[in-house]
Amino acid sequence: MGAMQLRHFKLSFAGKLRNWELAAYELDQIKESFHDAATLYPGIPVADMTIMAEPVRRLGEAIQKKEPKKFAAAFSELTAACNGCHQAIGRGFIVIKVPTSSPFSNQVFEPAARP
C-alpha cells in the first residue's frame, strides 16, 4: 500500500499542474494496484473496494476532458473512498489526505513544453 500512497500523491500533483498525460498514467497504475490488492490480499473484501469505482471513473473522465475543477472534486472523492475502504477493513488508523507539498525534488510534475 505504500506504493499506492505514492501513486495517490503523484496523481494529485499531475492533476493540479495539468499534466494530463502523467495523471492518466498514474490513474492506470492505481487501477492496476486495486486489482493486485484484491488478488494478493484475499482478506480484503472486494465489495469494500467497489467504493473506489465511481471516483476512479470520474477521475478518468476529468483527465480525458482536461477539466481541473472536476479533477479536484473527483480526487477528493477518491481520497475519501480510500479512507472509507480502510475503515471497512479494520485499518481506520490509515488515514490519507490530499497532498499539500511534494516530497519529490527529483521529478517535474508540470507538463513538458511541446515544440
pLDDT one digit per residue (tens) for the chain, 115 residues: 678 888 999 999 999 999 999 999 999 999 888 777 777 776 666 555 677 889 999 999 999 999 999 999 999 999 999 898 888 888 899 999 998 887 777 777 778 876 6
Q: What is the pLDDT of residue 111?
A: 83
38 secondary structure, DSSP code: H
> For position 97, what pLDDT does the model report?
94
pLDDT of residue 27: 96
pLDDT of residue 106: 72
Amino acid at position 110, single letter: E
d(CA 47, CA 106): 37
What's the pLDDT at 36? 77
Cα distances (Å, whole numbers) of residue 109 to 11, 19, 27: 10, 7, 15
Provide the pLDDT for residue 48. 58
Q: At what angle do helices 53-65 and 2-16 cross, to 10 degrees?
A: 30
pTM listed for this prediction:
0.83
Strands (E), 26-68: none
Using CA atoms, how far apart are residues 58 and 52, in angstroms rounded to an integer?
10
Q: How far apart are the first and last CA of the chain?
A: 38
